[in-house]
């Protein structure tokens, strides 16, 4: 697993450095596709191509990625595969908000094995091998200091493309998150999960998150000793899940 982790870190940092330098940064006119909730840049695609070339050359394992796809049946098979979000927080990146990064997870079926999230703006690389039960920041092991109770806890949430935006859906969503002391949205699921894992947040919840948004982050949280619950999104989008990632099981509420 350490050799796989080293390859993933190398791939994330190579892609992140190019993105940080701005040589793949796109202007509004360079967007491939945009709607009211989502935007794709050439930067996403080129970053994923670079990451895939490194992962496949050095590990030979299959890849599922946000931009270039992959075999969704891997989620039901007893084999290792990579899950890549080459630029999580694309809208932030486009608008030069420095909260985004490169997310690479290794999974077996639906179980996270290891995760890497590289925030190239801050040069912070979060890593975890789940079975080793630790999380590292830039190679240094850290211990999260999570809140002890939900009324003192901070929650990250968001509104991904696959979410139910109906009045009823939004009201149900509010009912699930309003018991937390603070609720934040930073525009990058991968960053938010990494920040839960290291103790900057206490919980993460989003409806309809895609697997590439969360694969690395759920590995980080599980490696840090936290709790993960994933259920397939009722909206029927492929590889979309409603996800709790929390300091403890008691923070994953239902209402």
Number of continuous H segments (helices) and E segments (strands) in the chain: 6, 14
What is the reported pLDDT for 238?
Answer: 85
Reduced to 3 states, what is the DSSP secondary structure of residue 252? coil
Rounded distance between C-alpha atoms, residue 93 and residue 102, angstroms: 11
Half-sphere exposure of 8 (CA within 13 A, CB side): 32
- With beta carbons less than 8 A apart as the criterion, state whether 75 and 109 touch: yes
The whole-number average pLDDT for the span 171-185 is 89
Given pLDDT bands bounded at 50, 70 and 90, which one contains residue 37? very low
Given pLDDT bands bounded at 50, 70 and 90, which one contains residue 137? very high
Both tokens of 211, joined, read 């697997």
Given pLDDT bands bounded at 50, 70 and 90, which one contains residue 25? low
Rounded distance between C-alpha atoms, residue 145 and residue 187, angstroms: 23
pTM for this entry = 0.90
Reduced to 3 states, what is the DSSP secondary structure of residue 24? coil
What is the reported pLDDT for 42?
Answer: 79
Beta strands per DSSP E along the chain:
31-34, 39-41, 63-65, 80-88, 101-108, 111-119, 124-129, 135-137, 140-142, 154-157, 182-184, 203-210, 227-232, 240-246
- With beta carbons less than 8 A apart as the criterion, state whether 130 and 106 touch: no
What domains can you pick out in the chain, each with its CATH number?
Answer: 2-142 (3.30.540.10), 150-251 (3.40.190.80)
Q: What is the CB neighbour count within 10 angstroms for residue 210?
A: 22
Given pLDDT bands bounded at 50, 70 and 90, which one contains residue 40? low
- Inform me whether the pLDDT recorded for 255 exceeds 50: no
Distance, first Cα to last Cα, the chain: 38
Closest CA to 55 of 195, 223, 216: 216
- Inform me whether the pLDDT recorded for 31 exceeds 60: no
């Amino acid at each position: 697993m350490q050799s796989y982790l080293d390859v993933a870190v190398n791939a994330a940092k190579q892609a992140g450095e190019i993105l940080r330098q701005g040589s793949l940064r796109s202007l509004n006119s360079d967007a491939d596709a945009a709607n009211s909730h989502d935007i794709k840049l050439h930067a996403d695609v080129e970053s994923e191509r670079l990451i895939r070339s490194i992962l496949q050359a050095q590990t030979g394992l299959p890849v599922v990625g946000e931009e270039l796809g992959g075999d969704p049946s891997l989620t039901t098979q007893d084999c290792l595969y990579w899950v890549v979000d080459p630029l999580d927080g694309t809208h932030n990146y486009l608008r030069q908000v420095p909260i985004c990064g490169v997310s690479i997870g290794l999974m077996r079926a639906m179980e996270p094995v290891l995760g890497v999230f590289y925030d190239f703006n801050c040069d912070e690389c979060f890593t975890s091998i789940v079975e080793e039960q630790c999380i590292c920041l830039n190679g240094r092991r850290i211990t999260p200091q999570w809140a002890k109770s939900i009324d003192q806890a901070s929650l990250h949430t968001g509104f991904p493309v696959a979410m139910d935006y109906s009045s009823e859906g939004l009201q149900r969503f509010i009912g699930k998150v309003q018991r937390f002391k603070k609720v934040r949205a930073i525009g990058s699921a991968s960053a938010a999960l990494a920040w839960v894992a290291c103790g900057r947040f206490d919980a993460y919840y989003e409806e309809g998150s895609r697997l590439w948004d969360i694969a690395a982050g759920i590995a980080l949280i599980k490696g840090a000793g936290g709790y993960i619950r994933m259920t397939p999104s009722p909206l029927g989008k492929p590889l979309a899940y409603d996800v709790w990632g929390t300091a403890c099981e008691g923070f994953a509420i239902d209402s």
